[in-house]
Chain A
Amino acid sequence: MSVARTIFPAYSRARMESPVRPAVSKDTGLAEAAIASEADIRSGLTENLARLWRYGLVLSHQRDVADDLVQATCLRALERADQFIAGTRLDRWLFSILHSIWLNEIRSRRVRQGQGFVDAGETLTVDGAHDTETHVMANQVLKQVNALPEAQRTVVFLAYVEGLSYREVAGILDIPIGTVMSRLAAARAKLSGAGSEGGRQ
């Protein structure tokens, strides 16, 4: 079930909007600023690796794809370090990069190639002690969220797990706030319904 790694395209796209770089050597101050920000991005990436990976797992349901998504996100973020706006939230920026890679490159490719998605239940479970109440609860919530359609699952994850505001979710997914609201509303209706049908308190 592994994704074809060699065609992983996140960095090989010559056509991506290339940041404007001065053709000849930059003045020293500018170069220093760029270097500093590359280091900042790198340390920001280090801090957020686990969160990015989790988001990749929620999107793809597959650990190896989550690995690849994080890798592609790192490459692109470092390459575009100069596009990061200082003073804004780095984690939000990284999430939006990961999401666009998923949407535009991985997911579409997989759909095109007709590779199915594995059943969410297999991948997204909490390991370790399997018998404590907390884990039973956690796995039940994971199962319910993973049963949601991708569009709803994504907003639920970003808004309710990552705790982002509607505006931030809209920014990451590049959709209107109204769409975030309607997806969350639909997800809530589904989750509440599932709760009563399944006889879970």
Chain B
Amino acid sequence: MNTKHTMPSDEDLTAFIDGELTAEEAARIEALVNQDESVAERLEFLARASLPFEQAFAPLLSEAPREKLEAMLADIPAPQNASSGSAPAFATRRRFLGALAASLVAGIAIDRAVIGIGRSFTPKDENGEWRAVVAEYISLYTRETLAGPTASREVQTAQLARLDEKLGLSLSPEAVSLPGVDFKRAQLLQYDGKPLAQIAYLDPETGPMALCIVMSSKGRKAPDLESRKGLNVVYWSNETHAFMLIGRAAVDRMTAIADGVRGRMAV
């Protein structure tokens, strides 16, 4: 039995699975896998742990309190501002550290206050921040994320009803169906403590696509285009909601699809 001598370590097999071996080392492992059933079994065992990690952790990105963190970052003074030019470096530095320490203690209270005010007075989410968050999230989607059969009309209706209830909408499967693109699911997410409707689609040509909606009081705004995270975004709003269609399809097609949705939803 020479298994003992030829059995690669779990480390080697892991590095093999992860594509971290040199071509030469990888070839050696491959040969062993082909020769020895027990090596193949061990490899298969370890490879079973190749779970969809990226997708599982993706939603946590949108749970980050982005607004609060950005306010915190904005509150940090630029180090250069602390210097008056001629002060000795140590004094400047001490003052800077002192300022930072103070700003942290006070900063917590201040950013709490700022956030409180921000929530009630400023229409923060109309400035596109929510679209940045959605783009970040959607950019992590792959075809596999949305693999599986297309939901039946009943399922679609049930899923949409949840969105309707939370966002004060009345969506029908017909209104949100996109030409040539498969409806995959409608989900309720959360952005900044407010409900965010996400309807995910799979375009056979370009992959994941999504229509997202939040409540917004900024008023009517004609469709506009932007690019985020390498995705094309068409966004618009009416008196009550802001909308975005995001995907990898070409700008013309995205615009045409968005126009269709606006027509059918009468927004």
Q: Do A and B come from one complex?
A: yes
Chain A interface residues toward B at CB < 8 A: 5-6, 8, 11-12, 14, 18, 21-25, 31, 34-35, 38, 42, 45-46, 49-51, 53-54, 57-58, 63, 66-67, 70-71, 74-75, 78-79, 81, 124, 126-129, 132-135, 137-142, 144-145, 156-157, 159-161, 163, 165-166, 178, 181-182, 184-192, 195-196
Residues of A within 8 Å of B105, CB to CB, are: 5-6
Contacts A12-B100, A128-B189, A157-B57 aside, 9 further interface pairs with beta carbons under 8 A come to A11-B101, A12-B97, A21-B89, A50-B136, A71-B72, A132-B185, A160-B54, A181-B11, A184-B14
Let me know if B54 and A185 touch, CB within 8 A: no
Residues of B within 8 Å of A191, CB to CB, are: 48-49, 51
Q: How far is the CA of A34 from the CA of B159 in the complex (A)?
A: 52
Task: Decide yes or no whether B245 CB sits under 8 A from chain A.
Answer: no
Residues B65-111 near A (CB distance < 8 A): 65-66, 68-70, 72-73, 76, 78-80, 85-86, 88-89, 93-94, 96-97, 100-101, 104-105, 107-108
Let me know if B104 and A71 touch, CB within 8 A: yes
Let me know if A161 and B185 touch, CB within 8 A: no
Chain B interface residues toward A at CB < 8 A: 9-11, 13-15, 17-18, 20, 45-46, 48-49, 51-66, 68-70, 72-73, 76, 78-80, 85-86, 88-89, 93-94, 96-97, 100-101, 104-105, 107-108, 133, 136, 145, 148, 159, 162, 185, 187-190
- Cβ contact of A128, chosen from B59, B94, B104, B136, cutoff 8 A: B59
Return 22 A-B CB contacts under 8 Å, by A number. Answer: A12-B100, A23-B88, A49-B69, A50-B64, A54-B60, A54-B64, A66-B64, A75-B100, A75-B104, A79-B96, A79-B100, A129-B189, A135-B59, A137-B52, A141-B53, A161-B56, A181-B15, A184-B11, A185-B13, A188-B49, A192-B46, A195-B48
> Residue among A6, A184, A191 with the most chain B CB within 10 A?
A184
Q: Which chain A residue lies CB-closest to B107?
A: A71
Residues of B within 8 Å of A192, CB to CB, are: 45-46, 48-49
Residues of B within 8 Å of A78, CB to CB, are: 76, 78-79
Q: A interface, by DSSP: helix, strand, loop or mixed? A: helix
Let me know if B51 and A141 touch, CB within 8 A: yes
> What's the least CB distance linking A177 to chain B, in Å?
9
Q: B interface, by DSSP: helix, strand, loop or mixed? A: helix
- Cβ contact of B64, chosen from A5, A31, A53, A141, cutoff 8 A: A53
> With A23-B88, A133-B148 in contact, do A187 and B61 touch (Cβ < 8 Å)?
no
Let me know if B185 and A195 touch, CB within 8 A: no
> What's the least CB distance linking B53 to chain A, in Å?
4
> What's the least CB distance linking A158 to chain B, in Å?
11
Q: Which chain A residue lies CB-closest to B92?
A: A21
Let me know if B188 and A70 touch, CB within 8 A: no
- Cβ contact of A188, chosen from B46, B78, B187, B188, cutoff 8 A: B46
> With A184-B18, A188-B49, A191-B51 in contact, do A22 and B80 touch (Cβ < 8 Å)?
no
- Cβ contact of A141, chosen from B56, B107, B148, cutoff 8 A: B56
> With A23-B89, A127-B190, A185-B13 in contact, do A144 and B73 touch (Cβ < 8 Å)?
no
Let me know if A161 and B54 touch, CB within 8 A: yes
Residues of B within 8 Å of A186, CB to CB, are: 10
Let me know if B69 and A185 touch, CB within 8 A: no
Q: How far is the CA of A186 from the CA of B11 in the complex (A)?
A: 8
Residues of A within 8 Å of B59, CB to CB, are: 126-128, 135, 138
Q: How far is the CA of A5 from the CA of B108 in the complex (A)?
A: 9
Let me know if A166 and B18 touch, CB within 8 A: yes
Let me know if A25 and B53 touch, CB within 8 A: no
Let me know if B80 and A35 touch, CB within 8 A: yes
Q: How far is the CA of A45 from the CA of B105 in the complex (A)?
A: 21
Q: How far is the CA of A157 from the CA of B57 in the complex (A)?
A: 9
Let me know if A25 and B76 touch, CB within 8 A: no
> With A127-B59, A128-B189 in contact, do A163 and B54 touch (Cβ < 8 Å)?
yes
Q: How far is the CA of A63 from the CA of B68 in the complex (A)?
A: 12
> What's the least CB distance linking A142 to chain B, in Å?
5
Let me know if A165 and B20 touch, CB within 8 A: yes
Q: Which chain B residue lies CB-closest to A193?
A: B45
Let me know if A67 and B10 touch, CB within 8 A: no
Q: Which chain B residue lies CB-closest to A184?
A: B14
Residues of B within 8 Å of A178, CB to CB, are: 11
